[in-house]
Chain A
Amino acid sequence: MSAQDVVFALLAVAGGAAAVAVVTARNLVRAALFLALALGATAGIFLVLHADFVGLVQLLVYVGAIAVLLMFGLMLTRAPIGREALDSQSRGLGLTVAVTLFGVLAALIVQSYGGSRVALAGPDVTSLGTALFSRWVLPFELLSVLLTAALVGAIVLSRREAGESGPDDLHAQQEARPAIMGGPEGIAQAHGLRTADERESAGAGTGGRR
């Protein structure tokens, strides 16, 4: 067992445990922090697998940007805390599907690659850059168009229109725009949800709505 194997095993255990914590944590902010840990461990695994550039990009983009973005999303949506509020009734179904899928995949992987050993060697960053800007230059440019479109789309979607003042002004907003809320039923539903929400935050977030 080489040093790489040991480092890989440590990182894999840390990343797997953090991933499990992401989907089981009761506290949303804690889940986001565990996600950052899982993504950071994966970045370390990329470094072990001689994919230096991908590992560092993962660290910058995932841990540095996406985790912070998700944290902002959590704080802007003042979500309730607690297992009942965060998990749906389909927890058993999810567990069944996930365990079955992992069993099948693990059996296939062990059967196909169980004994094979590979040398740890990877192409250097120079050849990666050359490939990215010669063979893959068209997908690269398409990707930049996609990123620009996503940026513009995100701004347009989350921009408040003139006169709108967010969820604190929900009643006035819904009376002004009934069509968007799906008619009277939608309004009644949203109002019911809101009162449930307020009750929940008043009661220190104990107990789910369903």
Chain B
Amino acid sequence: MSLSGPLLLGAFLFCVGVYGVIARRNAVLVLMSIELMLNAVNVNLVAFQLQAPRDVALTGQVFALFVIAVAAAEVGVGLAIVLNMFRNRASVNVDDADLMRW
């Protein structure tokens, strides 16, 4: 099979995530878009193992596992921050979180 298929899918998922991060106002939806982007990176990491030499072919999968674990930690802390923001400001709109805006 051609390597360009998974790579194109990864690029597409990443761009959809970029659009979501820029266009969405709800902080939880922004977190979801970030998950999409991390997932796109995983697709690339797994796809490139097909082309890698035998001795480094595992690295892609190991890194994909690491990315999944870091994403789990990220979403836990991110949701805690969002809940705190909601408790303090009664809103999860990222446009409202501008206290530290320059």
Q: Residues of A with Cβ closer than 8 Å to B?
A: 2, 4-5, 8-9, 12, 15-16, 19-20, 22-23, 28, 31-32, 35, 38-39, 42, 45-46, 49-51, 53-54, 57-58, 61-62, 65-66, 69-70, 72-74, 76-77, 79, 85-88, 90-91, 93-95, 97-99, 101-102, 105-106, 109-110, 113-123, 127-128, 131-132, 136, 139-140, 143, 146-147, 149-151, 153-155, 157-158, 160, 164, 166-167, 170, 173, 180-182, 186, 189-190, 193-194, 197, 209-210
Chain A residues with CB below 8 A from B1, complex form = 2, 4-5, 8, 117-118, 120
Rounded to whole Å, the gap between the CB of B1 and the closest CB of chain A is 5
Which residue on chain A has the smallest CB distance to residue B50?
A: A118
Interface of A is mostly: helix
Which residue on chain B has the smallest CB distance to residue A39?
A: B39
Is B4 a contact partner of A114 (Cβ separation < 8 A)?
yes
**A24→B36 CA distance, assembly (Å):** 14
Count B-side interface residues using an 8 Å CB cutoff.
77
**Per-residue CB proximity of B15-30 to A under 8 Å, as 1/0?**
1111111111111110
Interface of B is mostly: helix
**Per-residue CB proximity of B55-68 to A under 8 Å, as 1/0?**
00111011011101
Is A31 a contact partner of B76 (Cβ separation < 8 A)?
no
**A149→B82 CA distance, assembly (Å):** 18
Is B88 a contact partner of A180 (Cβ separation < 8 A)?
yes
A-B CB contacts (within 8 Å), total count: 285
Chain A residues with CB below 8 A from B58, complex form = 123, 127-128, 131
- Option from A31, A85, A143 in Cβ contact (under 8 Å) with B70: A143
For the complex of A and B, the 3 pairs showing the least CB-CB separation, nearest first, are A94-B22, A150-B73, A23-B20
Is B75 a contact partner of A45 (Cβ separation < 8 A)?
no
Which residue on chain B has the smallest CB distance to residue A166?
A: B87
Q: A146-B70, A167-B90 are in contact. Are A20 and B32 (CB under 8 A)?
A: no
Is B3 a contact partner of A143 (Cβ separation < 8 A)?
no
Q: A53-B61, A54-B61, A73-B82 are in contact. Are A22 and B69 (CB under 8 A)?
A: no
Is A113 a contact partner of B7 (Cβ separation < 8 A)?
yes
Is B69 a contact partner of A88 (Cβ separation < 8 A)?
no
Question: Other CB < 8 Å A-B pairs besides A16-B13, A42-B39, A154-B77, 17 of them?
Answer: A8-B5, A16-B16, A23-B29, A23-B33, A35-B32, A49-B49, A62-B35, A65-B72, A113-B2, A114-B4, A122-B61, A154-B76, A154-B79, A180-B88, A181-B88, A182-B99, A186-B99
Chain B residues with CB below 8 A from A2, complex form = 1
